[in-house]
C-alpha cells in the first residue's frame, strides 16, 4: 500500500485539512475585523486626543497609533498584536480590551448556556413529538410556538416580561445579575455567579442570582427552542418516512422504541450542529436582552463601546464572538466525525 493511502494517512490528511480550514477561517476573521476598523466613519485618533487637540498633538497620536503606515503594515501589526493577545486599550474603561472581555464574557456565557439548556430540554422533545404526531394538535401547537418565537421582537417580550413577572407579580429579580445586598459578596472564581455561589456554598446568593437570570435566560431559551424544535421536527419527519422505520414497525417494535431508539438516534448527529449553532447565536445575539435586563455581558459592552466610538473594544468583542463561532463549528464537526462512522 502506497504511503499516505492507509488509515493513518487518511487521518493525517483529514486533520491537516481541518487545521488549514481553521487557520484560513481565523485569518478571514482578522481581515474582516481589520477592514471594519478602517471603514467605520469614526476617527480613532480624535477619540483619543479629543476635539480640542492641536494639529501637532493629533499627528503625534496618529503616528504613535501606527496609522501613518501603509495598510499592509498596519494589518501585519494588527495580526501580530492579536496573536500576542493584545487587543488594544479601551477608550471607555481605560483598561486593556482583553482584560475587559475576560470580565464581561462569563456573564454572557452563563446567560447563553442556561438559555440553550432550556431550548434543548424543551425544543428537542417538542420537535420529536410534533413529528411523531404530524397533523395533530400537538404538531400545530409546536409550529405556532416556533413561528411566534421567530416573529416576536425580543425587546418587546423582554419589556413585557419585566413588567409582568418583576413589576406586577414580583416572581423574579429585576435587572442586573444580583441584588445590591449580594453584590460583590461571592468570590469571583469563574465569573459565572451561579457557579461561583455554588462553589462558595452561599445558597442565598445562588437564589438571588437565579431569580435575576431566570427571566432573560427563559427569553433566550424561547428563541432557542423555536429554532431547535423546528429543526428537530424536520429531521424526524425525514427519518420517520424512511424504509428502516417501516421495517421496524412491521417487526412489531413499539412506537416508543421506533421513535427514540431508531429515528432519534439517527438525527442526534446533525442535531449536535444545530445546538452548537444555536448556542453561538445566543452568544452574539443577546445584545438587546442584555441591554433590557442591564446584564453586564459582552453584548452590552460592545454596544456601549460602539456608542462611544471605542473601536478597539468593538473589534475585540467582534473578534471574540467570531472565534467562538469558529470554535463551536470545529467542535461540532469533530463530534460529527466521532459519532458518525460514515463521516470518517
Instruction: Kindly report the three-state secondary structure assignment for every residue of 230-253.
Output: HHHHHHHHHHHCCHHHHHHHHCCC
As a whole number of angstroms, the longest Cα–Cα distance in the chain is: 86
- Burial of 258-289, coded b for 16+ CB within 10 Å and e otherwise, reads bbeebbbebbebbbbbbbbbbbbbbbbbbbbb
Nearest CA to 100 out of 320, 328, 294 is that of: 320
Write out the three cell numbers for 24: 484560513
Domain extents in the chain:
1-31, 42-86, 97-343
pLDDT at 1: 45
pLDDT at 8: 62
pLDDT in tens, the chain (344 residues): 444 555 566 666 666 666 777 778 778 878 887 787 777 767 677 766 667 777 777 778 777 767 777 778 878 888 888 888 888 888 878 888 899 999 999 999 999 999 999 999 999 999 999 988 888 888 888 888 888 877 778 888 888 888 888 888 888 888 888 888 877 788 888 888 889 899 888 888 899 989 999 999 999 999 889 899 999 999 998 888 888 888 888 888 788 888 888 888 888 888 888 898 888 888 876 777 888 888 888 888 888 888 777 778 888 888 888 888 888 877 877 777 776 655 55
Half-sphere exposure of 224 (CA within 13 A, CB side): 33
Q: Which residues contact residue 44 at a Cβ distance below 8 angstroms, ignoring those fewer than 6 apart? A: 37, 65, 67, 309, 311, 312
| Residue 96 bridge partners (DSSP) | 89
Distance of CA 45 to the CA centre of its chain: 32
Nearest CA to 229 out of 323, 136, 126 is that of: 126
CATH number, domain 97-343? 1.10.3720.10
* Count of C-beta atoms within a 10 Å radius of residue 38: 14
How deeply is 312 buried, as exposed, middle or buried, from its count of CB atoms within 10 A (0-12, 13-18, 19+)?
buried
Nearest 5°: the CA angle 342, 343, 344 is: 95
pLDDT at 312: 82
Rounded-to-integer distance, Cα 33 and Cα 36, Å: 5
* Count of C-beta atoms within a 10 Å radius of residue 69: 13
Amino acid at each position: 500500500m502506497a504511503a499516505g493511502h492507509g488509515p493513518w494517512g487518511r487521518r493525517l490528511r483529514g486533520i491537516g485539512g481541518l487545521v488549514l480550514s481553521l487557520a484560513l477561517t481565523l485569518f478571514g476573521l482578522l481581515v474582516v475585523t481589520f477592514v471594519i476598523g478602517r471603514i467605520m466613519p469614526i476617527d480613532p485618533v480624535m477619540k483619543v486626543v479629543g476635539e480640542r487637540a492641536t494639529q501637532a498633538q493629533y499627528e503625534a497620536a496618529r503616528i504613535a497609533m501606527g496609522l501613518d503606515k501603509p495598510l499592509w503594515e498596519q494589518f501585519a501589526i494588527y495580526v501580530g498584536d492579536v496573536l500576542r493577545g493584545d487587543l488594544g486599550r479601551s477608550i471607555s474603561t481605560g483598561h486593556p480590551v482583553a482584560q475587559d472581555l475576560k470580565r464581561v464574557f462569563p456573564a454572557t456565557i452563563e446567560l447563553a448556556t442556561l438559555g440553550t439548556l432550556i431550548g434543548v430540554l424543551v425544543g428537542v422533545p417538542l420537535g420529536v413529538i410534533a413529528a411523531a404526531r404530524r397533523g395533530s394538535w400537538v404538531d400545530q401547537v409546536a409550529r405556532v410556538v416556533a413561528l411566534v418565537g421567530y416573529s416576536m421582537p425580543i425587546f418587546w417580550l423582554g419589556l413585557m416580561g419585566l413588567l409582568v413577572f418583576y413589576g406586577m407579580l414580583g416572581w423574579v429579580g429585576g435587572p442586573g445579575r444580583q441584588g445590591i445586598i449580594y453584590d460583590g459578596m461571592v468570590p469571583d472564581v469563574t465569573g459565572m455567579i451561579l457557579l461561583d455561589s455554588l462553589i462558595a456554598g452561599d445558597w442565598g446568593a445562588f437564589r438571588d442570582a437565579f431569580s435575576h437570570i431566570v427571566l432573560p435566560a427563559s427569553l433566550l431559551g424561547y428563541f432557542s427552542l423555536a429554532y431547535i424544535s423546528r429543526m428537530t421536527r424536520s429531521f424526524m419527519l425525514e427519518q420517520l418516512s424512511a424504509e428502516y422505520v417501516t421495517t421496524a414497525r412491521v417487526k412489531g417494535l413499539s412506537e416508543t422504541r421506533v421513535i427514540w431508539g431508531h429515528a432519534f438516534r439517527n438525527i442526534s448527529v446533525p442535531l449536535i450542529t444545530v445546538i452548537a449553532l444555536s448556542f453561538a447565536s445566543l452568544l452574539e445575539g443577546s445584545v438587546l436582552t442584555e441591554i433590557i435586563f442591564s446584564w453586564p455581558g459582552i453584548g452590552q459592552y460592545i454596544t456601549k463601546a460602539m456608542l462611544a466610538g471605542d473601536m478597539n473594544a468593538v473589534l475585540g468583542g467582534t473578534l471574540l464572538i467570531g472565534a467562538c463561532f469558529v470554535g463551536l463549528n470545529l467542535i461540532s464537526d469533530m463530534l460529527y466525525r466521532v459519532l458518525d462512522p460514515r463521516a470518517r
